[in-house]
């Protein structure tokens, strides 16, 4: 239904272009249910339906754009978009030529659907309430279809529509102690939900024990996929960007120059084929299924946007303007999840990290805090929760010389952000066992 609307409105807008003009349309919308939980009760529930169109008018190397909200009613929206064209025409002669403008002129139309296989949101809520029992749960459930569309006046059409859910939740214990988890997907799995909440409840009981305070120093550690996500997410601050690499600002500059390397166990790639984000971007370029970023510890490539490609005379690989990963994939290892505590032996079990920042970008050195359910493990058994600690360590060390193993199982972690719209960015990551993590405070 929405796809037909997009095709019709694109045909109408492009038919009104003047000689010499080109245009593109970028459609972003969603129909999402949001349910907020607190004290294991539904506190707020609602539906968000929104539709936004960005019109990009081009005349030679000049270009201007405007974004407006639409009603989803063809006649009304067409009139609004025609007025946008009038407004853009009135200013385009006033802007300077853009020497780095690069638009796709090779027609590559695509469509991708993940049809809505989710149960009614009311059923999801009932499953959550039944699984959580008398535990103090807080969280947000978001579910429903998100769609993106691209069209240009040359005839290219691209459509992406995926129905997914994302449940970001915590079980609260006391003080600053809680177990924080997240889950997402395109299919609702009641059994997996029950297992995750049961595991969190078991950790909640451990949080009731007296907390252990560690002295600053280096400790053997296991990092859950969620904690690993916080670490590798810092590489999205320009680390995978071709522009940042060529500007000598990338945190992975030493990796690219072979001055440093990660462990041979570490391989990272942009896995668009398995992600939730569209396989096309705003200039109409198609993203390859995979882009290798780190291969067995060595630099393998960067994300290249069209503007970077034009500026440096290289080929774009369909990256967005920010050249950030949207579907990051880390290769699994061989450590079974059931053997994590045994393999850790004595050390710290890190469930979550937060407040991360670079302490030395050139050295890929990061500082941050432990958070929520972090535990002291002795001889393969959890014995006490840990008080909050600050770490300061280089990823070249943590995921390099100190990386001992990655788990065989991986988790799909979807960005729970919903500022302006639900995010479709995701990471598919294993947990990591490291020989030492430097705690400083």
Tokens for 253, please give them: 């500059």
Query: pTM of this prediction?
Result: 0.94
In this structure, the answer to whether residues 236 and 116 fall within a common structural domain is no
Which run of H or E residues covers position 206? Answer: helix 190-207
**Nearest-10 crossing angle of helices 2-15, 74-92:** 40
Render pLDDT for 338-356 as a digit per residue (tens, 0 to 9): 999 999 999 999 999 999 9
Count other Cβ atoms within 10 Å, centred on residue 244.
20
Q: Is the pLDDT of residue 176 over 90?
A: no
In this structure, the answer to whether residues 214 and 346 fall within a common structural domain is yes
For residue 163, which of 118, 218, 106 has the smallest C-alpha distance?
A: 118
For residue 428, which of 276, 302, 252 has the smallest C-alpha distance?
A: 276
Q: What is the mean pLDDT of residues 327-333?
A: 98
Render pLDDT for 73-98 as a digit per residue (tens, 0 to 9): 999 999 999 999 999 999 999 999 99
The predicted pLDDT at position 35 comes to 98
The predicted pLDDT at position 403 comes to 98
Q: Is the pLDDT of residue 175 over 90?
A: no
Q: How many domains does the chain have?
A: 2
Count other Cβ atoms within 10 Å, centred on residue 79.
11
List of long-range contacts for 286-294, beta carbons under 8 Å, 24+ apart: 286/104, 286/108, 286/110, 286/158, 286/318, 287/317, 287/318, 287/319, 288/317, 288/318, 291/317, 292/267, 292/268, 293/240, 293/268, 293/269, 293/325, 294/255, 294/262, 294/266, 294/267, 294/268, 294/269
Confirm whether 47 is domain-assigned. yes
Confirm whether 360 is domain-assigned. yes
In this structure, the answer to whether residues 201 and 213 fall within a common structural domain is no
Helices (H), 16-157: 74-92, 121-132
Confirm whether 256 is domain-assigned. yes
Q: Which CATH number covers residue 137?
A: 3.30.2290.10
Render pLDDT for 10-35 as a digit per residue (tens, 0 to 9): 999 999 999 999 999 999 999 999 99
The predicted pLDDT at position 290 comes to 96
In this structure, the answer to whether residues 152 and 228 fall within a common structural domain is no
Confirm whether 294 is domain-assigned. no
Q: What is the mean pLDDT of residues 407-433?
A: 95
The predicted pLDDT at position 115 comes to 83
In this structure, the answer to whether residues 73 and 184 fall within a common structural domain is yes
The predicted pLDDT at position 97 comes to 97
How far is the C-alpha of 73 from the C-alpha of 52, rounded, in Å? 13
Confirm whether 246 is domain-assigned. yes
In this structure, the answer to whether residues 237 and 132 fall within a common structural domain is no
For 351, phi then psi, to 5°, come to: -85, -40
In this structure, the answer to whether residues 195 and 249 fall within a common structural domain is no
In this structure, the answer to whether residues 383 and 331 fall within a common structural domain is yes
In this structure, the answer to whether residues 72 and 145 fall within a common structural domain is yes
In this structure, the answer to whether residues 105 and 121 fall within a common structural domain is yes
Query: What is the chain's length?
Result: 441
In this structure, the answer to whether residues 41 and 91 fall within a common structural domain is yes
For residue 238, which of 330, 327, 331, 362 has the smallest C-alpha distance?
A: 362
Which residue did the predictor score with more confidence, 123 or 176?
A: 123
Q: Which domain holds residue 426?
A: 209-268+326-439
**Nearest-10 crossing angle of helices 190-207, 121-132:** 30
Q: What is the mean pLDDT of residues 314-318?
A: 95
In this structure, the answer to whether residues 200 and 102 fall within a common structural domain is yes
Domain boundary among the residues 206, 228, 249 is at: 206
Which run of H or E residues covers position 255? Answer: helix 253-256
Render pLDDT for 380-409 as a digit per residue (tens, 0 to 9): 999 999 999 999 999 999 999 999 999 999
Domain boundary among the residues 206, 224, 252 is at: 206
Domain boundary among the residues 163, 189, 206 is at: 206
Q: Identify any residues that bridge with 377 across adjacent strands, giving them in sequence order.
A: 347, 382
Q: What is the mean pLDDT of residues 268-280?
A: 96
């Amino acid at each position: 239904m929405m796809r037909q609307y997009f095709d019709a409105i694109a045909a109408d807008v492009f038919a009104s272009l003047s000689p010499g003009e080109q245009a593109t349309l970028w459609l972003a919308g969603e129909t999402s249910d949001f349910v907020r939980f607190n004290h294991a009760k539904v506190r707020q529930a609602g539906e968000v339906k929104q539709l936004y169109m960005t019109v990009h008018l081009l005349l030679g190397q000049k270009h201007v754009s405007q974004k407006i909200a639409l009603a989803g009613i063809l006649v009304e929206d067409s009139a609004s978009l025609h007025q946008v064209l009038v407004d853009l025409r009135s200013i385009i002669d006033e802007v300077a030529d853009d020497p780095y403008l690069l638009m796709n002129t090779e027609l590559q139309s695509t469509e991708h659907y993940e049809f809505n296989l989710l149960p009614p949101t009311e059923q999801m809520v009932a499953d959550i309430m039944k699984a959580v029992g008398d535990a103090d749960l807080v969280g947000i459930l978001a579910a429903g279809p998100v769609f993106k569309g691209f069209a240009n006046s040359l005839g290219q059409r691209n459509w992406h529509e995926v129905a997914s859910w994302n449940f970001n939740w915590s079980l609260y214990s006391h003080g600053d102690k809680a177990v924080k988890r997240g889950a997402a997907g395109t299919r609702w799995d009641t059994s997996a939900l029950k297992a995750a909440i049961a595991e969190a409840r078991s950790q909640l009981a451990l949080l009731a024990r007296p907390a252990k305070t560690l002295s600053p120093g280096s400790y053997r550690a296991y990092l859950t996929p969620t904690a690993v996500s916080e670490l590798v997410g810092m590489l999205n601050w320009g680390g995978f960007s071709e522009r940042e690499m060529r500007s000598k600002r990338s945190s992975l500059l030493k990796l690219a120059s072979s001055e440093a390397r990660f462990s041979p166990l570490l391989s990272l790639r942009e896995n668009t084929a398995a992600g939730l984000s569209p396989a096309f971007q705003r200039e109409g370029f198609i993203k390859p299924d995979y882009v290798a970023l780190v291969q067995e510890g060595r630099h393998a490539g960067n994300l290249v946007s069209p503007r970077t490609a034009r500026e440096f005379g290289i080929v774009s690989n369909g990256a967005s303007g920010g050249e950030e990963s949207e579907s990051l994939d880390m290769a699994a290892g061989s450590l079974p999840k059931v053997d994590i505590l045994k393999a850790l032996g004595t050390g710290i079990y890190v469930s979550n990290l937060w407040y991360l920042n670079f302490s030395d970008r050139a050295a890929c050195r990061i500082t941050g805090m432990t958070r929520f359910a972090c535990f002291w493990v002795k001889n393969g058994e959890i014995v006490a929760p840990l008080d909050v600690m600050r770490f300061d360590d280089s990823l070249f060390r943590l995921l390099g010389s100190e990386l001992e193993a990655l788990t065989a199982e991986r988790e799909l972690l979807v960005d729970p952000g919903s500022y302006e719209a639900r995010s479709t960015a995701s990471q598919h990551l294993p947990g990591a066992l490291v020989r030492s993590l430097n705690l400083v405070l």
